[in-house]
């Protein structure tokens, strides 16, 4: 689950990381009421789940006397397809310098990896490309926890000058605590600013939590914002499907997580781009297929691939599910179906009678769907 900046900041401040004074509001009346209580300069920040709000015009400085004007421009504005419904009104920080400090769940290195840089404020992906030497990466073994020598490695690596090292070390330890205690996949402070009087403050908060841990975080229920892609993943979850949105254009409906992963790999291998990971599990229930299709088609696609292995699930049941589903929803892009396993002949027969082409080799079906998608 992605958290908004104000929610992430709340977690930071509970852990003792300074974030600066501010309030999240949804109306201009609230801005009117609090504009004179936050100092001579305010910063007004859109709370939407998109990166680069600043560049998109969603972060603006304002004097108390024009706070209402600035806030009314940001509230309701559209940022990359999302409407701004909440804004964070904060006391502006007098910034001397911007650093970067982030921590991620790092599957490749089987640990929790800190990244820190003296080049904060800007897109860290950009820094990684243009100045890879300016990013320090330190992987923590979560069973041992963050070690003091690693704290020093991070702080020195990010080139914090001597007078800021104690504060910076404190940020690292506390950020690690926030990350672990809240089952995060990402906790990022960009920028981590140094004020003109030498204080470190987290001027932004980007936090994502691991949905696999939601059973032990009842508090997450109220924190979820159903705008944006989180909603689709949640709908899928409610329907008993696992769905992860990706940025390609070939929709995939697969049964079994392993087969779904393999399908995405083979699509990529053949020059296509999967639009999603979707595991419909061991069910052939037409309702589930309809739900899957609706979730899938919430974003523009070029083609759809069904890749079903009938083990316990019978292919003919899946075929009936597909036929019923296609009767219910209109699909105006090419669909490639590959079925194999129990009762596949019956399934193929049913689908072919209904006018669908069915392949039995995964390789063949994937090559076909990639070609169809790339020709559109």
Partner from ligand GDP, Mn ion, none binding residue 334, C-beta < 5-8 Å depending on class: none
At residue 277's C-alpha, the angle toward residues 3 and 257, to 5°, is: 110
Note whether 46 and 128 are within 8 A (CB): no
Contacts of 12 (CB under 8 A, 6+ apart): 19, 174, 175, 178, 189, 202, 205
Nearest by Cα to 179 from 108, 120, 111 = 111
Report the alpha-carbon distance of residue 240 to residue 227 in Å, rounded: 20
Rg (CA), the chain: 25
Q: Which of 5, 98, 188, 344 is catalytic?
A: 188
Q: What is the phi-psi region of residue 5: left when phi exceeds 0, alpha when psi lies from -120 to 50, beta otherwise? A: alpha
**Size (the chain), residues:** 376
Three-state DSSP state, 173: helix
| Sites for Mn ion among residues 184-213 (CB under 5 A) | 190, 204
* Nearest CB to ligand GDP, comparing residues 95 and 213: 95
Note whether 20 and 89 are within 8 A (CB): no
Contacts of 218 (CB under 8 A, 6+ apart): none
Report the residue number whose CB is nearest to ligand GDP: 54
Q: Which of 99, 100, 176, 243 is catalytic?
A: 100
- 233 is annotated as an active-site residue: no
* Nearest CB to ligand GDP, comparing residues 32 and 96: 96
Report the alpha-carbon distance of residue 225 to residue 16 in Å, rounded: 25
Question: In the bound complex, what is the minimum distance in angstroms from residue 105's beta carbon to ligand GDP?
Answer: 20
Does residue 98 bind Mn ion (CB under 5 A)? Answer: no
Q: Which residues bind ligand GDP (CB under 6 A)?
A: 43, 45, 52-54, 59, 92-93, 95, 98, 121, 190-191, 203-204
Note whether 358 and 339 are within 8 A (CB): yes
Q: Is the dihedral of CA 236, 237, 241, 244 positive or negative?
A: positive
Report the alpha-carbon distance of residue 154 to residue 163 in Å, rounded: 15
Residue 142 structure tokens: 């979560």
Residue 273 to residues 4, 335, 361, 363, Cα–Cα distance (Å): 29, 15, 19, 15
Query: For 71, what's the count of Cα atoms within 13 Å in the CB-facing half-sphere?
Result: 28
- 100 is annotated as an active-site residue: yes
Question: What residues are labeled active site?
Answer: 100, 188
């Amino acid at each position: 689950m992605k958290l908004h900046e104000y929610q992430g900041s709340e977690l930071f401040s509970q852990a003792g990381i300074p974030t600066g004074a501010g309030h999240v509001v949804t109306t201009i009346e609230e801005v009117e009421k609090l504009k004179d209580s936050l100092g001579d300069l305010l910063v007004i920040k859109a709370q939407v789940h998109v990166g680069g709000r600043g560049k998109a015009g969603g972060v603006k400085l304002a004097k108390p006397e024009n706070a209402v004007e600035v806030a009314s421009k940001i509230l309701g504005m559209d940022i990359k397809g999302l409407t701004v419904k909440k804004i964070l009104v904060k006391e502006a920080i007098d910034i001397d310098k911007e650093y970067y400090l982030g921590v991620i769940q790092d599957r490749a290195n089987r640990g929790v990896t800190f990244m820190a840089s003296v080049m904060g404020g800007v897109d860290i992906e950009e820094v990684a490309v243009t100045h890879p030497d300016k990013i320090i990466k330190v992987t923590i073994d979560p069973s041992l926890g963050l070690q003091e020598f690693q704290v020093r490695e991070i702080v020195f690596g990010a080139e914090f000058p001597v007078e800021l090292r104690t504060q910076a070390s404190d940020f690292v330890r506390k950020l690690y605590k926030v990350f672990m205690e809240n089952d995060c996949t990402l906790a990022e402070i960009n920028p981590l600013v140094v004020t003109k009087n030498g204080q470190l403050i987290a001027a932004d908060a980007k936090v994502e939590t691991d949905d696999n841990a939601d059973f032990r975080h009842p508090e997450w229920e109220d924190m979820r914002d159903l705008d944006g892609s989180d909603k689709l993943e949640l709908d899928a979850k409610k329907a008993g499907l696992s769905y992860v949105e990706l940025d390609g254009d070939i929709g995939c409906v697969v049964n079994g997580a392993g087969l779904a992963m393999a399908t995405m790999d083979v699509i990529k291998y053949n020059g296509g781009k999967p639009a999603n990971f979707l595991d419909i599990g061991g069910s052939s229930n037409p309702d589930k297929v309809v739900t899957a299709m609706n979730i899938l088609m919430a974003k523009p696609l070029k083609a759809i691939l069904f890749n079903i292995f009938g083990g316990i699930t019978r292919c003919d049941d899946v075929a009936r599910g597909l036929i019923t589903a296609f009767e219910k929803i209109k699909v105006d892009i090419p669909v490639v179906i590959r079925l194999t396993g129990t009762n596949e002949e019956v399934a193929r027969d049913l689908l072919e009678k209904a006018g669908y082409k069915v392949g039995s080799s995964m390789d063949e079906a994937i090559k076909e769907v990639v070609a169809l998608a790339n020709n559109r």
